[in-house]
Amino acid sequence: MYHMRNIVNHDSEILLPKCMYNLKNIYSFDPPNNFNELPEEEINIDVRNQVMKFLKIPSGEMADLEVRQDLLLKKLDILYDRIKTISAFCSVDSVQETKIIKKVPVMEIPEEIVLIYSPDCLPWFLKKIIKESAHPVNVSWHIHSSVPSERVKKILAFVKTFPKFVNNLKVNIRLIFKCVSADPELKLSSLDVPIVGNVNILRYLSLAFPSVIPYDSEDYNVDSLLDTCHVLERTTEKNKEVLTKKIFSQNKKWINKDEFSILDAATFNILKQWQNSAKYAPKDWLAKCEKLF
């Protein structure tokens, strides 16, 4: 049935019976033991004894095989002892707990930040940065000629709470309102590529002012929800409810982990632009954000 590779060669031959089972002839009137009819050599065949004698015959190949087997068993014993030693070193009792301290990326605050915003999308989070920054912040603002006169009142109402300009402060924010660019922009230099979009601007400012707007850049859940905020800013009216429900799905006190974070700043800045923001966000959350911003 199965062909096996020959491991040890032997010249001896084992005699096998030609009949597997001998049965009594029920039609015969001879004495019960009728095996005398079989040939004598057929009766005397004892396969077991033949094999035992066969195995006792010295064989060079078999001896080599036994030597190899003994060597393998010794190696396995050595390996087992090593594994026991290693497992003793790696036991839970001997392992000392080490605390992993996350290093928050520290970014040097630039001396001048230029923010370009449309009057339809105001940077409400800026008020919190000005109020709570460890370094005093100067804010100067300019209204571009592209802004229609009917929207100027809205801008003036927004900037009236800003502190008066003071000379020789380390951090200066220039705020430009214009209706040219589709998305808000942050520029550090006229030669640099601008940072585009509210969410990306907040990502940068949260690294520059980490104590004001907390942001865990290694938390993939936070970045995923920030991407949802980016989509929410551009979505149609019918998709607003679905996206806001996704953002507030884990909300208890704040959006993420029951503490204020960049997610609250980004979401509130979007909802603040809407006339019916109370329809999409929890009332207590909106009230807390109003106090902060």
The pair of structure tokens assigned to 80 is 């087992």
Which residues 6+ apart lie within 8 Å of 107 measured at CB? 207, 208
Low-confidence ranges of the chain (pLDDT < 50): 34-36, 40, 92-95, 97-100
Per residue in 98-122, pLDDT (tens digit) is 444 555 556 778 888 999 999 888 9
One domain for residues 230 and 170: no
Residue 16, domain member (yes or no): no
Per residue in 49-99, pLDDT (tens digit) is 766 776 666 666 767 778 889 999 999 999 998 888 888 877 644 445 444
Please give the residue range of the domain that contains residue 132.
108-213
One domain for residues 164 and 261: no
Q: How many separate domains does the chain show?
A: 2
One domain for residues 203 and 250: no
One domain for residues 188 and 227: no
Please identify, among 213, 248, 265, the residue that sits at the C-terminal boundary of a domain. 213
Which residues 6+ apart lie within 8 Å of 217 measured at CB? 105, 203, 207, 223
Please identify, among 197, 213, 229, the residue that sits at the C-terminal boundary of a domain. 213
pTM, full prediction: 0.62
Q: Residue 190's domain is classified under what CATH number?
A: 1.20.1050.130
Residue 3, domain member (yes or no): no
Please identify, among 163, 184, 213, the residue that sits at the C-terminal boundary of a domain. 213
- Which of 289, 252, 249, 284 is CA-nearest to residue 267? 289
**114, amino acid identity:** V
